[in-house]
Amino acid sequence: MPYKSEYTHQKIPRELDKRVKLSLEDHKLIREEYKNSSWGVSRRLIQFILDPKKKERDLELRKLRGGSMSYYDKKKQVESSQRTRVKRRELSKQGLLI
């Protein structure tokens, strides 16, 4: 049975959300820099250029998956979702969701 906080569509305030790594100002700056670039390539390609080890790891994982286009680890995703649900439930009990 889902937690009440899951179906009431209340949100965790940004300052209490541990998943947030960049500020809203950082997001805006990144978007502007990316928008103003004239490269016309994907963010993923830029990521691979900046960190070649990520590209190598991606290629290895793709081979292991048989060439699948799935880019995430399902077990890791499930664990992350569970942690978020627990945190959301705690914040809901404290009345901190918006």
pLDDT, tens digit, for every residue of 34-63? 777 777 778 888 888 888 899 999 888 888
Q: So what's the pLDDT on residue 69?
A: 57
Helical pair 52-64 and 43-50, crossing angle rounded to 10 deg: 110
The domain segmentation of the chain, as residue ranges, is 22-94
Q: So what's the pLDDT on residue 63?
A: 85
Residue 58 near residue 71, CB atoms below 8 Å: yes
Q: So what's the pLDDT on residue 82?
A: 93
pLDDT grade, residue 97 (50/70/90)? confident
Burial class (CB in 10 A: 0-12, 13-18, 19+), 6: middle
Amino acid, res. 95: G
Euclidean distance between CA atoms 87 and 74, whole angstroms = 20
Q: So what's the pLDDT on residue 53?
A: 94
CA distances from 87 to 17, 27, 94 (A): 9, 24, 11
Question: Is the model's pTM score more than 0.75?
Answer: no
CA distances from 18 to 33, 46, 87, 97 (A): 26, 26, 9, 14
